[in-house]
Amino acid sequence: MSVIIGSHYVVVSYIADALKIKTCEAIRQEWGEKNNTMDLLISIFSDYGYLAVFVMLLLCGFGLPIPEDITLVAGGIIAGLGYADVHTMFAVCMAGVLIGDGIMFTLGHHFGQRILAFAPVRRLVTPQRFAQVQEKFVKYGNWVLFIARFLPGLRSPIFIVAGMSRRISIWQFILMDGLAACISVPVWVYLGDYGAYNRDWLLHMVSRGQTGIYTLLGLGVVVLAVLYFRHRRNKKA
């Protein structure tokens, strides 16, 4: 019971932190940037197919400053436009996401503090980001591996630092990251497939999509907690 309550508190706390009100100007600017990035990715993916999507997601995992959600949606769009099969695209996206994440965690686990000697890693895991990651670990514990999927800009540093700590096994990492990916990846890929011919609607949904995922996460945890308590009560009766 304490595990359920603890996980419920962690996820709900994170949702409360994540749902911050943005100004209209910030939303318009973000919308424009995502639209430009999406157009570029669609062009590349249409020409080079599944391999381009897989490689781009690996690079996202390595800290490339391209939004992972937009990359996944772009993969879904080219499926919706007839350039790929959407279910195969989903499998390719899952592989790219999980392998990219796993490589970052494994590098941190294998090299430990020595990995900070590499200039690209130092640029990725800056002192400011390292402090932010440490704060997240203190606040959320190992659940930060699950939450990291929904933290753009901190995802890769979190995975590297988690590996560096050597307090988390590879199986714990795979479980937490895999569960989060099973929520986010199909949402973005199938959303892109569904809205491939309605770009304005799609961009609107993408701009609000993270909020929707946070809400679904919170509702899911609440439902699990309710079912658990009912099961416990029925067993006692």
pLDDT exceeds 80 at position 51 = yes
Cα R_g (the chain), whole angstroms: 19
89 compared with 236, residue with greater pLDDT: 89
SS3 45: helix
pLDDT exceeds 70 at position 190 = yes
Q: Residues 230-234: what's their mean pLDDT?
A: 74
Instruction: Give the separation between CA 119 and CA 31, rounded to whole angstroms.
Output: 32
**Neighbouring C-beta atoms of residue 236, cutoff 10 Å:** 6
Could you tell me the two tokens for 3?
Answer: 């595990």
Instruction: Give the separation between CA 232 and CA 89, rounded to whole angstroms.
Output: 41
Per-residue model confidence (pLDDT) at position 134:
76
154 compared with 115, residue with greater pLDDT: 115
The pLDDT confidence band at residue 222, using thresholds 50, 70 and 90, is low
What separation, in Å, do the N-terminal and C-terminal C-alpha atoms of the chain show? 17
Domain boundaries, the chain: 2-236
Contact 93, 189 (CB under 8 A): yes
What's the one-letter identity of residue 46?
S
Q: Residues 210-234: what's their mean pLDDT?
A: 66
Q: What secondary structure letter does DSSP report for 20?
A: P
pLDDT exceeds 60 at position 162 = yes
Contact 152, 52 (CB under 8 A): no
217 compared with 55, residue with greater pLDDT: 55
Contact 56, 44 (CB under 8 A): yes
55 compared with 17, residue with greater pLDDT: 55
The pLDDT confidence band at residue 35, using thresholds 50, 70 and 90, is low
